[in-house]
Amino acid sequence: MAKPIQGVLPIAHTPFLDDDSIDVTSLARQLDWAFAAGADGFATGMVSELIRLTFEERTALTKTLAELAHGRGTFVAGVGAESTRQAIQYAQIAEKAGADGVMATPPMTTRAPAAAVRDYFVALAESISIPVIVQDASGYVGQPIPLDVSVGLLKRFGRDKILFKPEASPIGPNLSALRDATGGEARIFDGSGGVCLVDCYRRGIDGTMPGMEFLTGIVALWKALERKDDAAIYRLYFPICALVSLQLQAGLDGFLAVEKYVLHKRGLFTTDRRRPPYAYSLDNETRAELDRLLKCLDDVVNSGS
């Protein structure tokens, strides 16, 4: 039986060895750590570097992650692609592997009209029996998904089949627009990396899908939000915001550079290698600021906030 898609579902990062092959040992270590930290499950997505993997690597990653989960939590597989045929194939592979749901961005290399975006998601939803999270990642890649497309998908398939991860700016107002346009029926996930989590939570969400790198802080923040502990909320939230601001300065490459640095620093990844080419790398001063902010966040988490 598929597990519920809710709570803290971090995006798994893809570790690479020095020869550029996927490091399965580090991958397993990452998931063990995530579940020990209190994650409700995990997913793959843009920051898993999916679009930089070969077809064989991407399908192998999905199958390996499903096996490594060992039934410990929800697994949502990223299946967004540049054609409907590709997305369907990735989705069917994910369902067969045992994923509890899939998440898809629309094609990013073409400015598809609303009708084409709708048809892409309709075909994807009809090709599998598990839920589909409609991801608008246009805050850093691609184009926004029109509101009427999202509303139409929900009406057609229902809230158990279609979920949403809106990341178009401004995130909060767009989230509220989707909520209101669906009469509160839309099941929505924060995808801001944590920087908008407090605002999104107060607008009504089912969960959050951050990166793995600040997971202990995000889990603690989610729990503080659930118990309405404003003092703890803001003690945790401020260092998370400062950390994410360093990622935001360089878009997707900025997120990847910081994520790999932190996971390597914490001993979870053997290397901090990213799949080239990329346009941004950390300099020594950014690393020093990351270290200072990580200590601030760790101190708050370890204090029991």
The answer to whether position 247 is within a domain reads no
The answer to whether position 160 is within a domain reads yes
Instruction: Provide the pLDDT confidence category of residue 1 given band limits of 50, 70 and 90.
Output: low
The answer to whether position 103 is within a domain reads yes
What SS3 state is found at 34?
helix
Q: What is the pLDDT of residue 153?
A: 98
The answer to whether position 200 is within a domain reads yes
| DSSP string for 9-24 | -PBPP--B-TTS-B-H
Domain count, the chain: 1
The answer to whether position 294 is within a domain reads no
Q: What is the pLDDT of residue 34?
A: 98
CATH number at residue 206: 3.20.20.70
Residue 305 has pLDDT above 80, yes or no: no
The answer to whether position 2 is within a domain reads no
Domain housing 178: 7-221
Instruction: Provide the pLDDT confidence category of residue 172 given band limits of 50, 70 and 90.
Output: very high
Segment 103-119, tens digit of pLDDT = 999 999 988 999 999 99
Segment 262-290, tens digit of pLDDT = 999 999 999 999 999 999 999 999 999 99
The answer to whether position 197 is within a domain reads yes
The answer to whether position 212 is within a domain reads yes
Continuous H helices in the chain: 24-36, 55-69, 84-97, 114-127, 147-157, 171-181, 197-203, 215-226, 230-248, 251-265, 284-302
Segment 74-133, tens digit of pLDDT = 999 999 999 999 999 999 999 999 999 999 999 999 889 999 999 999 999 999 999 999
- For 299-305, the CB contacts below 8 A with 24+ separation are 300/217, 300/220, 300/235, 300/236, 300/239, 301/216, 301/217, 301/220, 301/236, 305/220, 305/224, 305/231, 305/232, 305/235, 305/236
Instruction: Provide the pLDDT confidence category of residue 139 given band limits of 50, 70 and 90.
Output: confident
